[in-house]
Structure 1
């Protein structure tokens, strides 16, 4: 059976970390639930918004109408996808930094409590 304790990757630290114990801890479970609560709706929104353009242009005539001068709703929707992508990337990076901080705090708590997470 393989050893579940892994050596820390930092050359300055010689402590072993029991990742299974950390994964079973309440703070880590909270982190996983928080990430899932954030990522699943964001991913679903992105996929629906992304695939709506080819679906609407292929199977309906809804986006064929002119919105502003000679610019149709299809062009506006396509441009909105760029804005949506930039916005979601910005939101994700900010939220991922918070998740990284939470993970770092979990590891620090583990190390400070002497492996009694």
Structure 2
């Protein structure tokens, strides 16, 4: 595995192998087949899938219920606050749901990124 790294301060090729490298860049030839077959990568994929699946199902059900409830029932036609119906409340709630799910995923993705860094350090940068 050939990984060339350049010191950002001096611009000097740290490894000094296979010619000059560009400043601030890391170049490598990854063996993706080998990487995705490592137990660490499989564990990360399983962890990510187990995190995303319930949230995806919940979102799809919540999102899909709005047109079903408005088209086939009159349950959301009742007044919620003044002249505002439950259809509008439900629709507004979908914005809150999307922002909440995006925030949850963004925070969780940081831990996934740390796991990826560990996998790369162990399997690529050794």
Aligned-pair Cα RMSD in Å: 2.3
What does residue 39 of structure 2 align with?
A: 26
Q: Which has the higher helix share?
A: 1
Equivalent pairs, count: 108
TM-score, normalisation: structure 2: 0.74
User: Structure 1: which 5+ residue stretches go unaligned?
Assistant: none
Residues 36 and 42 in structure 2, CA contact (< 8 A), matched pair in contact too: yes
Question: Residues of 2 paired with 1:9 and 1:68: CA distance?
Answer: 63
TM-score, normalisation: structure 1: 0.79
**Are 1:102 and 2:102 matched, yes or no?**
no
Point out the structure with max Rg over C-alpha. 2
**Are 1:71 and 2:84 matched, yes or no?**
yes
Which of 32, 50, 57 pairs up with 2:70?
A: 57
